[in-house]
Structure 1
């Protein structure tokens, strides 16, 4: 009987082994991160988007701009002083349309958050067209740009921080990427939000704008501080600064008619696609792409 039963046992053993291997592979599949190729939007400006699946460790939708700072015709512009405090709240789309910009992203933390335009106090340094809108704040880092688009991060802006020669500046909460590596920070399960950050390449010639959508199950859940830094590094940044996030996270561009169109899907008051009236934005003017010359053939 043994010579009859043996083939039967082998027959069972083979598919069982295959099933075990399939289960192991299925449960240990690597996380998948995808970044689309950069595509030209304006002269000196490229756009890209990316995704992460649930093993990364959560679903994420990412949108970014890559700005070649030495490209001719680029001019940065941030929210100017207005109102009785420092600025007036407005959406990124309103900011872009009002000032005829090509690209805009939310910037400084601020208060109060409101559904109507109100007077705003910004947190940290803000400079618009060489005018100080919000004074330096000890402990808060900033992105500073000169008139000829030389950019640098300043890790601390004390009250006596020299602002001469700075044409545009925005402030964030912390430096999150240094020398191409995330700066270790304690993170809790609740530290996952929509995020906005900016980064600089190693040679300082490329500025990266990054937004990560969040608080939208099935679409994008958000990112931790470390995950945000890793995204900056993937996109080519060597150093990076965290800006205001949450419901403020917004990235907009001008369409062919010059009108603002959302690149990401912001969420304000739990309403996907609804923009918040932010206290400060960083904007960019850029020349259109060259028009193709029709061939005579």
Structure 2
């Protein structure tokens, strides 16, 4: 579908939150780097409650400079995965193909080759099957709408980041009455972790530390925030709980936030025009454990429209 749309304008956790919000006078965006017009980046290192390397990007949607797109369906869409392991006990029948898995780097490069001036890419949704052997395909995501085309209509109880066809952005929650035909982009995440400026109870009680990807929106929906926290890397970055991820989203200006796919999927990438390599000017802002880039079920990208 060839179409583009322009965006409009408990103890350790408590200590972490106190550290996050202890200094009210200084904006966390002081000293940030403008990557592209209206897109700012902050890198920071924290040592409490553990070592964490954090990347935060904020996009000002009011600039009207950017369009958004996500991964597209594979040619085998809605057919049984041909490489599914029949011995897998998690799936009685082969899952249906939605996308072919792709690294965020290759997603960005592919869109550049196709003519989109994509400047930023980030991993998006969890997918299945998982734990059934390696498959090059992905399915079972939640409500996934790609450029106006519904590729998976079962929300599976998961919230989504959405771009409506009028260009506005929001989060869609399970049970929402927003009709699918009004949605241009929908990429589901795992859970709501920041709700109206408050860290959710589920996130606050989480004690598991992993690499994380979070999406956030400001109260007036002018800004979108992407946060990655590296993890599983001793002496570099040990990861974050979902409560800590929510607190970071709030610290940097988000009013609502989602925990997206994380772990080895966590990737935040930008395009560097001045790198001098026409084939691969992609820079990965975060650092994956082992240096490997995972092929994800889907990715989200922002590109220049003017």
CA distance in 2, matches of 1:212, 1:274: 16
Whether the 8 Å contact between 1:61 and 1:220 is mirrored in structure 2 is yes
Q: Go from structure 1 to structure 2 and tell me whether the alpha carbon gap of 1:285 and 1:157 turns closer, same or farther (over 3 Å shift).
A: farther
Note the 1:251-290 alignment, pairs <5 A.
251-257=268-274, 259-267=281-289, 271=290, 273-286=291-304
Whether the 8 Å contact between 1:138 and 1:157 is mirrored in structure 2 is no
Whether the 8 Å contact between 1:105 and 1:251 is mirrored in structure 2 is yes
- State the Cα deviation string for residues 9-37 of structure 1 (Å, max 9, x = none): xxxxxxxxxxxxxxxxxxx9x98669563
1:237 maps to 2:254: yes
Residue number in structure 2 paired with 1:41: 35
Residue number in structure 2 paired with 1:3: none
Residue number in structure 2 paired with 1:206: 223
Tell me the secondary structure at the aligned position of residue 102 of structure 1: strand
Q: Go from structure 1 to structure 2 and tell me whether the alpha carbon gap of 1:197 and 1:110 turns closer, same or farther (over 3 Å shift).
A: same
CA distance in 2, matches of 1:104, 1:276: 14
From 199, 209, 213, the equivalent of 1:182 is 199
CA distance in 2, matches of 1:157, 1:95: 31
CA distance in 2, matches of 1:222, 1:176: 16
1:52 maps to 2:46: yes
Give the length in aligned residue pairs: 252
Tell me the secondary structure at the aligned position of residue 270 of structure 2: strand
Residue number in structure 1 paired with 2:61: 69
Whether the 8 Å contact between 2:143 and 2:156 is mirrored in structure 1 is no
Report the TM-score, using the length of structure 1 for normalisation.
0.78
CA distance in 2, matches of 1:76, 1:143: 12
Q: CA deviation at 1:286?
A: 2.7
Structure 1 unmatched runs, 5+: 1-27, 289-297
Note the 1:134-153 alignment, pairs <5 A.
134-153=152-171
Q: CA deviation at 1:261?
A: 1.0
Structural RMSD (CA): 2.6
Whether the 8 Å contact between 1:79 and 1:280 is mirrored in structure 2 is yes
CA distance in 2, matches of 1:287, 1:49: 27
Residue number in structure 2 paired with 1:170: 187
Whether the 8 Å contact between 2:206 and 2:243 is mirrored in structure 1 is no
Whether the 8 Å contact between 1:115 and 1:276 is mirrored in structure 2 is no
Residue number in structure 1 paired with 2:124: 107
From 185, 190, 195, the equivalent of 2:212 is 195
Residue number in structure 1 paired with 2:81: none
Structure 2 unmatched runs, 5+: 1-14, 77-96, 113-117
Whether the 8 Å contact between 1:88 and 1:117 is mirrored in structure 2 is no
Q: CA deviation at 1:126?
A: 1.3
CA distance in 2, matches of 1:111, 1:264: 24
Q: Go from structure 1 to structure 2 and tell me whether the alpha carbon gap of 1:157 and 1:135 turns closer, same or farther (over 3 Å shift).
A: farther
Tell me the secondary structure at the aligned position of residue 226 of structure 1: helix
CA distance in 1, matches of 2:295, 2:192: 25
Q: Go from structure 1 to structure 2 and tell me whether the alpha carbon gap of 1:112 and 1:72 turns closer, same or farther (over 3 Å shift).
A: same
Deviates more, 1:278-287 or 1:168-177: 278-287
